[in-house]
Amino acid sequence: MQCLLCQRLIQSKFSLPWLLSWRPFTRPVVCAVCWQRFKRIERRTACPGCGRDQTVPRLCPDCQRWPAERPFHNVALFTYNDAMRAYFQQYKFHGDYRLRRVFEGTMQTALHQLNGDLVLIIPVTPSTLLSRGFNQVSGWLSDGLNQPRGLQTLAREKGVPQSKKVRQDRLRTPQPFMLALAAEQIQGKRVVVIDDIYTTGRTIRHAADLLLESGAKSVTGLTLAR
Amino acid sequence: MKKSELYGRQLCLTPREAATLPADVQKITGIQVSGTRIQCMRCGEFLNPREAQLPNNQYYCYACLNLGRNSTLTSLYHIPEPNDFPQRPTCSWQGQLTVQQRTCAQRVRENFEHRHRHLLWAVTGAGKTEMLFPGLTWALQRGLRCALASPRVDVCLELAPRLQAAFVDAEIALLHGRNPAPYRYCQLTICTTHQLLRFRHAFDVLIIDEVDAFPFAANPRLYYAVNQAVKPHGALLYLTATPSQELLRQVRRGDLEISYLPLRFHQHLLPMIKVTLQPHWWQVIKRGQLPNRLRRQLARYQQTQQRFLLFVPQVAQLAAVQAAIQRALPALRGLTVHATDPDRLAKVQQMRDQRVQFLITTTILERGVTFPGIDVIVLGADDPLFSTAALVQIAGRVGRSRERPTGLVWFLAASHARTIKRAQRQIRLVNRKGRRLRDAMPVVSTIDSK
């Protein structure tokens, strides 16, 4: 079995505890060296607003600038470091769909733990979907199938992608989404919105605004990287 | 996009990107799906459906992904090569070929003329590039499209200025993964073998340098690329010092013609490999000591100031070997070099400038570098990481200068592995041919120089 990221052979050892645990054997998809290069965020000390990795659980300077009274917070799993940047480059921009398997398990476990009533994913524009062929977020969840299409992108020509903008331009981005769900499907629900990266928080907060206005009880963001 | 940028190429574009192309482009299916067989038409790889799938029954090729993704959502676009070259470049190279080089150059040219597939087996340090000039001159004069491809970027970077100097009025395109310059339609192209995947029936004359080097040797996709890039009736020339079993099989089958150049430019034979069995060399070095025989040899080097390269199989072993040498012989000054070393070029330069006496290295220095008058020691030569080709190339680092045409090639190995045996056999074979050639030669030709 080759590591998906560095193409080196992975040697899996069968230990006695594993044998006795009677659990199925899951083939590793990345080697230990590559996996260690991703930095997991400690949930207990992370920023309660955006999920940024910190030493004390205090609202970070970025979050203090957002209006605070909203029942929204974000949970991030990994720090956006060089390894993560390289991963997204290969997965999203080069379109190597096999790499979804690297974070499949982690993402699904985290989603399960959040235990929301309704799960929505941030959509990509139809033209991106056509050229990329997949939605990077739904790739991590159940092989990209059977996702409720709750959020849709507005039929607006996408100019510059978010990843090419500086902070100020990103913050000025207008609402890009609309809801394709009836109000009673949202009313009083705890909604989980999933995206790939939380950078300024603009995208996922747009989605949260939309949901809260339609009567959602709370919105939790779940992103792979922060 | 200019029309000429598609001549003889196959570019992978989405329908939207292809909308601006000229009308007479040919559209080729990017990925052929027939039943359970899925084949990438760019690199020829048969894809595993589970790995290659995208949502909604679409597929992509993961094998040639780094050239831009080829998928069922895209197509390959191509315009047949029209050989639209206004100029007829001439050769401005002034040098002289030796008698044997001239014979080989003549063969190369004839094979270009007859559009044959040809393997030129020339020993390391024979002056291969110069032998191409007469053939290339002929081809360029005829308005044929030529390309010189090599698996290694370093080789391409080194060849480009030499060819530009030899053909001053020719336009040369240099293509490799790290070159940011956009593609240009030129009569002469120098590129890495990976870039050949972007061409289709483009070249009348295609030369592959160092066929035996990684990644070409181990990669069937690149053979596919070569056959795809050369015109159906084009000439193909493989250059190598260490032909693989597969190439020699093609020669025996008669698919490939072969010619030899078994003598170096200074007319001396290749140094033979000396093998010593040393079963536990790594355990000894891990303890911080040197095997006795190695220590005695290094002590001799310390006295004579003879410069040398020390090869080890793995990067992780470099530091331990360095430490053991430092402990046993603190007066020896050397450095370690490996592929991802940030100071790699600087360290090699220090060795060139004779500021250090030795380098400890992995297979990255196996080819393409010349340090005049060095010796070579290989630790763990039976390690599977050293292929036969690598061992012959390593041995070929020795005796490359006229002043010191011989030297020591010493392998310390735990076993007489097949790779070592084959390497010795290859060197013995070319030396036998070389001796015969030298004996048959008139005495005068040994005097004239490179």
**pLDDT tens, B262-272?**
888 888 899 99
B residues 15-54 lying closer than 8 A (beta carbon) to A: 16, 51, 53-54
Helices (H), B330-440: 344-352, 388-395, 418-440
Same domain, A44 and A19: no
* Residue type present at position B369: V
Same domain, A46 and A102: yes
> Tokens in use for A10?
């992975």
Same domain, A26 and A45: no
Phi-psi category of residue B366: left, alpha or beta, with phi > 0 → left and psi -120 to 50 → alpha: alpha
Count of A–B CB contacts within 8 Å? 35
Name the average pLDDT for chain B.
89
Q: With a cut of 90, say whether residue A125 has pLDDT above it.
A: no
Find tokens 């193409």 and name the residue. Answer: A7
Same domain, A30 and A103: no
Same domain, A2 and A89: no
Q: How confident is the model at residue B190 (pLDDT cuts 50, 70, 90)?
A: very high
The answer for residues whose C-beta is within 8 angstroms of residue A122's C-beta and 6 or more apart is A137, A151, A177, A193, A194, A195, A196, A203, A204, A207
Say whether A97 and B66 touch across the interface (CB within 8 A): no
Answer for the pair A100, A29: CB distance below 8 angstroms, yes or no: no
**Residue B414 half-sphere exposure toward CB, CA atoms < 13 A:** 11
Q: How confident is the model at residue A76 (pLDDT cuts 50, 70, 90)?
A: very high
Q: Which of B307, B313, B278 is nearest to B294 (CA)?
A: B278
pLDDT tens string B35-55: 889 999 999 999 999 889 898
Helices (H), chain A: 16-21, 32-36, 61-64, 82-88, 100-114, 126-132, 136-140, 167-171, 202-213
Say whether A133 and B55 touch across the interface (CB within 8 A): yes
Measure the CA–CA gap between B425 and B183, rounded to whole angstroms: 43
Same domain, A87 and A14: no
Same domain, A8 and A59: no
Same domain, A218 and A133: yes
Same domain, A28 and A137: no
Answer for the pair A220, A211: CB distance below 8 angstroms, yes or no: no
B residues 60-119 lying closer than 8 A (beta carbon) to A: 60, 62, 65-66, 69, 71, 73
User: pLDDT value at position B251?
Assistant: 92
Instruction: Tell me the chain A residues in contact with residue B62 when contact means C-beta distances shorter than 8 Å.
Output: 96, 98
User: pLDDT value at position B447?
Assistant: 41
Q: Among the listed ranges A173-182, B170-179, B247-256, B262-271, which one has the minimum average pLDDT value?
A: A173-182
* Residue type present at position B110: E
Of B14, B51, B55, nearest to A98 by CB-CB distance is: B51
Range of the domain at A71: 39-225
| CB atoms near residue B300 (< 10 Å) | 10
CA distance to partner chain A, nearest, from residue B214 (Å): 15
Instruction: Write down all domains in chain B, each with its CATH number in brackets.
Output: 3-78 (no CATH), 99-261 (3.40.50.300), 273-440 (3.40.50.300)
What DSSP character marks residue A89? I
Same domain, A31 and A74: no
Q: Is the CB of B58 inside 8 Å of chain A's CB atoms? A: yes
Residue bearing the bigger pLDDT, B299 or A174: B299
What chain A residue is nearest to B16 in terms of C-alpha separation? Answer: A131
Same domain, A83 and A9: no
Measure the CA–CA gap between B436 and A131, rounded to whole angstroms: 62
Answer for the pair A193, A117: CB distance below 8 angstroms, yes or no: no
Same domain, A149 and A160: yes
Number of domains in chain A: 2
